């Protein structure tokens, strides 16, 4: 009764403030709640689960607790015995360039053996798991099929199942967890960039995805691992990253911002073409362009003469015409596409609120760049490099999209061709969701 009376008094005081502050103050005090990661829940409530256990952990440089301390260091402070660290792409303590392999070593801070899961070996072997009781997984995901941490998790689950080890996911929010979209991976298209029949954007956390893989029998030979999930608190699928009220730490060097992470599901396709996505600039995955876009080059030159800056409208969204020159950087991009060459393209700063619009914009741009390149080749026939690379098939997960772009199939029709696969996947997905 006393608490209710106090609450009423506080509300009366707040409403007595100037009107322009009322909503902001009430929202901040009573309604805004920060998302708590699974690692933080573990350390707060469930640390006894690790007592007297030999622990291995899959983590990286941004596996941070309370945005300050690495999960390895936090667990050691709790006297948890960590005997091995498994490092995915981009390494553990240091953030390495995309695609750079690295060898097994000792963690320079703790001296704990570190096993590379990105190089000659992608999956722990029985020797790696010898004397281990439980393997923890604490990685920040981006929510895309072709983001390699997803495949790494599946391989580690498989190794745990084969060797009778418990696999525990310390769950984290998915910055693209609010929708499901894109073509479903077709049989025969499996690679490290995608091993299961799921859309490009699966709309699941790692914990949810692990449940699905385990129960659907998607591990090798249908085996199942002993799986445990430590859920996030104060997280729902409708959230964008800003709603979590957590600091964004780049899960890989070129995803510097949450906005870049939201553009990533469509812009990563372009890495299978001869179009740059801004690697080697200050805004990777928010730029798209190449040296061969004569129309945008013409606009840029005219803007330079007029002292203006033009934008291009796509489905109601305006994007600035940009010239950018990729530069070498030892971490972000050592040898970026079109290094030291002028590229002409667009700066994608606005994020569509509708996820269908995001993918439609991606398709419209892909059509545009492909046909601009073909026109450029008519004037400069010595330019022989194909627009699409074989890597495009791995990223998209089918061989249909390439021909659809080449034949000028309308973007709405392309998206409609994905819909049955998406609907079928959603029926499977909904059984394993842990969050509202």
Residues contacting 86, CB < 8 A, separation 6+: 56, 57, 58, 59, 114, 115, 117, 124, 128, 135, 156
For residue 166, the SS3 value is: strand
CATH architecture of 258-426: Alpha-Beta Complex (3.90)
Q: Where are the domains of the chain?
A: 38-248, 258-426
CATH topology match: 38-248 vs 258-426: no
Q: What is the 3-state secondary structure (H, E, C) of 383-414?
A: CCCCCECCHHHHHHCCCHHHHHHHCCCCHHHH
As a dihedral over the C-alpha atoms of residue 218, residue 222, residue 226, residue 228, rounded to 10 degrees, the angle is: 20
Which superfamily, per CATH, for 38-248? Uncharacterised protein PF07075, DUF1343 (3.40.50.12170)
Helices (runs of H) and strands (runs of E) counted in the chain: 13, 13
pLDDT tens digits in sequence order for the chain, 436 residues long: 444 444 444 444 444 444 444 444 434 433 469 999 999 999 999 999 999 999 999 999 999 999 999 999 999 999 999 999 999 987 788 766 666 667 888 999 999 999 999 988 999 999 999 999 999 999 999 999 999 999 999 999 999 999 999 999 999 999 999 999 999 999 999 999 999 999 999 999 999 999 999 999 999 999 999 999 999 999 999 999 999 999 999 998 899 999 999 999 999 999 999 999 999 999 999 999 999 999 999 999 999 999 999 999 999 999 999 999 999 986 778 899 999 999 999 999 989 988 899 999 999 999 999 999 999 999 998 898 999 999 999 999 999 999 999 999 999 999 999 999 999 999 999 999 999 9
């Amino acid at each position: 009764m006393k608490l209710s009376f106090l609450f009423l008094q506080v509300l009366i005081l707040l409403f007595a403030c100037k009107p322009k502050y009322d909503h902001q103050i009430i929202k901040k005090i009573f309604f805004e709640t920060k998302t708590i990661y699974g690692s933080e829940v573990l350390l707060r409530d469930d640390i006894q689960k690790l007592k007297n256990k030999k622990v291995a952990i899959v983590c990286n440089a941004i596996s941070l607790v309370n945005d300050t301390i690495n999960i390895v260091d936090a667990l050691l402070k709790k006297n948890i015995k960590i005997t091995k660290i498994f490092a995915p792409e981009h390494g553990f303590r240091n953030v390495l360039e995309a695609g750079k392999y690295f060898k097994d070593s000792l963690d320079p801070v703790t001296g704990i053996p570190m096993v590379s899961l990105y190089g000659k070996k992608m999956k722990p072997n029985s020797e790696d798991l010898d004397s281990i009781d439980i393997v923890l997984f604490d990685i920040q995901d981006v929510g895309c099929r072709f983001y390699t941490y997803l495949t790494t998790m599946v391989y580690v689950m498989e190794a745990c199942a084969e060797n009778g080890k418990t696999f525990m996911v310390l769950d984290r929010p998915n910055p693209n967890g609010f929708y499901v979209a894109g073509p479903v991976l077709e049989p025969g298209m499996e690679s490290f960039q995608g091993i299961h029949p799921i859309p490009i954007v699966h709309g699941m956390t790692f914990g949810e995805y692990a449940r699905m893989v385990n129960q659907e029998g998607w591990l090798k030979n249908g085996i199942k691992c002993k799986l445990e999930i430590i859920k996030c608190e104060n997280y729902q699928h409708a959230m964008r990253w800003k709603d979590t009220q957590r600091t964004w730490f780049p899960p890989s060097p070129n995803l510097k911002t949450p906005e870049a992470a939201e553009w990533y599901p469509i812009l990563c396709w372009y890495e299978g073409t001869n179009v740059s996505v801004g690697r080697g600039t200050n805004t990777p995955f928010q730029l798209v362009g190449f040296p061969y876009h004569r129309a945008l080059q013409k606009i840029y030159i005219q803007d330079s003469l007029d002292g203006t800056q033009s934008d291009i409208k796509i489905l109601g969204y305006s994007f600035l015409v940009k010239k950018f020159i990729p530069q070498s950087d030892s971490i972000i991009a050592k040898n970026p596409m079109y290094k030291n060459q002028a590229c002409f393209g667009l700066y994608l700063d606005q994020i569509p609120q509708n996820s269908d619009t995001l993918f439609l914009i991606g398709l419209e741009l892909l059509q545009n760049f492909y046909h601009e390149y073909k026109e450029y080749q008519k004037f400069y026939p010595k330019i022989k490099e194909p627009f699409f690379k074989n890597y495009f098939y791995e990223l998209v997960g089918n061989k249909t999209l390439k021909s659809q772009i080449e034949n000028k199939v309308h973007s709405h029709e392309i998206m409609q061709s994905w819909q049955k696969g998406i609907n079928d996947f959603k029926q499977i997905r909904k059984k394993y969701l842990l969050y509202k």
